[in-house]
Structures are given as structure tokens and as C-alpha cells.
Structure 1
């Protein structure tokens, strides 16, 4: 009776763990699709566009893979299939090892994150803003959401190579994106403060945000990384519990069947 009760408890916990993994997997898949569709995530400034897209596809594939693993675990528990339970254990073990390796790599390269963000933000302002619609949309969202302007300073727009090259020799004008305007400013005043400014001229900080975006983006990305780390640890712990219960069930299947006879 004790053995049968323990087996039933292990089976119940196995199903619960896999249901949790299933829900988390749906969340991962949904987040990956959202980030692929919506280009305005601040974290996209941490890496270049190609690496960002590849990372999202890897995240999407990982979420779909975990969905398959959780389905396999539930079927193995309900069907009392030793083969499926062992397969579940082996596949999930590979996933856990890969996740731990990825976490270690991120931890070891965390000191490079700020440098990459600074480089990408400055590159966006000086080189890419008017050439890449995706970056333009993302950076406008950053400037409005974080209430900042430019990379280190709003005057960085004065140094934009794209703007200076496009300015006529007679007029020598440059532009600041309208997303730098404070929310209380009306459209006319924003237009006057951001369009056709003389190169080297002062900027009206009563209308334009006076802080650069680099530090604010770094802080947001660091905060998000902490959240991701906590969520990752929780997922790994849940998966580790799933490994334990899958082994218990796999070894207990034959004993349970014998007990039922």
C-alpha cells in the first residue's frame, strides 16, 4: 500500500511539473514571437540586428522544444510508459545542461554588455537612425519611453554623420528627432526646436530632453537581465524536479504493475 501510494504521489507531481513546464514554454514562445513582431524592445539595442534576430529564433525553438518535452512527460506519466519516461529524462537533461551552459556564458560575458550597448546606441545615432526604419522606430520609442535624447547627450544629433552629409553647405542645418520633445510641448514648438537647427547652435532644453539615452538603456537592460536570470533559475529548478520524478516513475513502473496484480 505504501509503495502504491508513493508511486501515485510521484505520478501526480510529475504531471504537475510538466503542466508548469508547458505553461512556461507557452510564455517563452509567446515572448519570442512578440519580440520578433515588435521591434521596439529596448533589449534589442544590446546586440546588432542579425544576432538579435538569431537569438529570438533560438528562444522560439527552445520554447517549442520544451512544449514537446512537457507533452512527452505527461504522456509517459499517464500511460506509465517506461520508454517515454526515460526519453523524457534524457531530452530534458540535455535541455538543462544547455541552459546552464548558456547562463554561465552570459555571466562570463556580462562585463561586455554595457560596452556593446554603448557602441550600438552611438552607432544608431551617428550612422543608422535615418537609414534603418527598424532602428529608427526602436530609438524613437526609447527616447519617448525613457525621456532621453541622443547617445551620451542630445547634442550627439549635431554630430550625426548622416545629417551633416545631408546638410547643404549654404544652410548647414541639422535635425533632432521629434521623439526628443517633452510630452507637454505642442507640435509647433517641437517643430521649431528640432528641425533645421544651425550646426553648433544651442539646444532648447525646456523643449528637448536634456539627458542622453546610453545610461538609461544600460540600466533598463541590466534590470531585465536580472529578471531573466531569476526566471531562468526557477525554470531550471522546476526542470530538475521533473528529472527526479521521471526517474522515480521510470523505476517504479514495473513495481507498480506488479503491485496492481
Structure 2
């Protein structure tokens, strides 16, 4: 009976880790394709620090999952104690890192408030400066969610942006997405937006826009995180049971 139990754990571990292995290979493939794509997508990603960072996050995640799945599969099917121990240590490190990240997120949650983001935007946002990561990230957020500022376009009052561009009330990224914008059938230039005309700019704050867009996904991400942590705990238990059961 003990042998049958160990055999069941062995094949369950193999199937589970083979799926992890395939998932890691898929993420690695996506990341590598984006970096070497000859059709120009690479330049688009490289020009946007937010996307560029995301590609490397995908590569790292894919590499870790690829290695984790490979070690789990080999350790289980070959009943290799060394590989099983290495698999256990790697997944333990990942588990502790995720746990530490969750604890830090809880501790520093007060820094993710409207006031904090507003102060940082006023202090650091530079408008068209694509070489500044903070500015480029905010431009990507405002472009993606069709929003302006943290709470509203008034967040740019008394800001670094206004000191750099004293004649612009808002950045151009806050203007409606056409070079010429219609008003009562007559087209006017984007200058109306830059002068502060509310009819030709996005007036919704990005804090509300992002929260509204991701409200459902936040709960899904929390549930997914709990599932992943649970799976990792079971994986460590299975690895140790198989490790101890191998003669």
C-alpha cells in the first residue's frame, strides 16, 4: 500500500510539474519573440519603459517556472533525491519571496494612496521627457486609460511640469486623441486643450480609472495568489514525501 501511495504521488508530481514546465516554456517563448521580433514590435516595446520592464518580468517568470517544472519532472520520474531536494529548496525560496512581498505590500499599503501619488506626480512628472522612467510610466498610464492626473487635470497646478512648461495647463497626453478636435462642427487645434479648455481633454483622474478597470481583477488576483500558495505548499509536501519514501 505504501508503494502504491508513493507511486501515485510520483505521477501526480510529474503531471503537475509538466504543466508548470509548459507554462514556463510558453512565457519564455513570448518574451524572446518580443525581443527578437524583426517586424518592428521590438522598437515599440523598447520605446516604452513600462512595456520593456514587463517583457523582462515575463522572461524571469518563464525561466523560473521552466526550471521549476523541469526539476520537478526529472526528480519525480527518476526518483532522484538530489533533484527533489533542489526542487524543494527552489519552491521554498519562491514561496517565502511571495510571502514577503505580500507582507511588505500590507505594511506599505498606506503609501499607495491618492495623496502619495498626487505628491509624486507634482514633484517628478516632466511632460515629454521619454528618458525619465517615472514620466514615461505616467504617460503610458494616461494614454492607456484615457485619464489625466491622479485625481483630475488640476493635479498639475503648482507642479514641476508647470514650472517646465508655464504656458501649458496640462500635458499633451491629456488631450483628446486627435490633432484637430471638433467643437460645434468646427475643428480647433490642440492648443485649446493645452490652454485648459475642459471640452478637449480627458477630465477623469487616473486613480479612479485604474481602480475601475482592475476592480474585478484585483479580487481575481487575490484568489489566484491564495491558490498558487496552496499549490506550492502541496508541492513541497509531495516532494518531501517522495524524498523520504525513496530508498
**By the TM > 0.5 criterion, same fold?**
yes
Q: Is the 8 A contact 2:20 2:66 kept in 1?
A: yes
Rounded to whole Å, the distance in 1 between the matches of 2:214 and 2:117 is 9
Rounded to whole Å, the distance in 1 between the matches of 2:215 and 2:227 is 19
Question: Partner of 1:189: helix, strand, or coil?
Answer: strand
Q: Is the 8 A contact 1:130 1:162 kept in 2?
A: no
Following TM superposition, by how much is the alpha carbon of 1:76 offset from its aligned partner in structure 2, in angstroms? 0.9
Residue 179 (structure 1) aligned with residue 173 (structure 2): yes
Rounded to whole Å, the distance in 1 between the matches of 2:23 and 2:107 is 26
User: What is the TM-score with the length of structure 2 in the denominator?
Assistant: 0.70
Rounded to whole Å, the distance in 2 between the matches of 1:253 and 1:194 is 72
Following TM superposition, by how much is the alpha carbon of 1:25 offset from its aligned partner in structure 2, in angstroms? 4.2
Rounded to whole Å, the distance in 1 between the matches of 2:30 and 2:209 is 23
Rounded to whole Å, the distance in 2 between the matches of 1:233 and 1:189 is 52
Aligned residues: 228
- Structure with higher RCO (Cα < 8 A, 6+ apart): 1
Q: Residue 129 of structure 2 is aligned with which of 128, 131, 144?
A: 131
**1:1-261 alignment, distance < 5 Å:** 2-25=1-24, 37=46, 38-40=48-50, 61=60, 63-114=62-113, 115-124=115-124, 127-133=125-131, 134-157=133-156, 159-167=158-166, 173-174=167-168, 176-182=170-176, 186-187=180-181, 188-195=187-194, 197=195, 203-217=196-210, 226-254=219-247
Rounded to whole Å, the distance in 2 between the matches of 1:166 and 1:210 is 20
Alignment root-mean-square deviation, CA: 3.8
Rounded to whole Å, the distance in 2 between the matches of 1:140 and 1:100 is 32
Bigger CA radius of gyration: 1
Change in 2 beyond 3 A, CA 1:166/1:210: closer
Of 238-247 and 129-138, deviating more is 129-138
Change in 2 beyond 3 A, CA 1:86/1:225: same
Rounded to whole Å, the distance in 1 between the matches of 2:28 and 2:118 is 29
Rounded to whole Å, the distance in 2 between the matches of 1:119 and 1:32 is 34
Change in 2 beyond 3 A, CA 1:30/1:154: farther
Structure 1 gaps, min length 5: 45-52, 168-172, 198-202, 255-261
Change in 2 beyond 3 A, CA 1:97/1:233: same
Rounded to whole Å, the distance in 2 between the matches of 1:119 and 1:160 is 9
Structure 2 gaps, min length 5: 35-44, 182-186
Q: Deviations over 1:19-59 (max 9, x none)?
A: 2433454577689888x854346xx9xxxxxxxx6x99788
Rounded to whole Å, the distance in 2 between the matches of 1:226 and 1:23 is 26
Q: Deviations over 1:227-249 (max 9, x none)?
A: 44333322221111111211222
Aligned residue in 2 for 1:48: none
Change in 2 beyond 3 A, CA 1:82/1:140: closer
Rounded to whole Å, the distance in 2 between the matches of 1:63 and 1:23 is 9
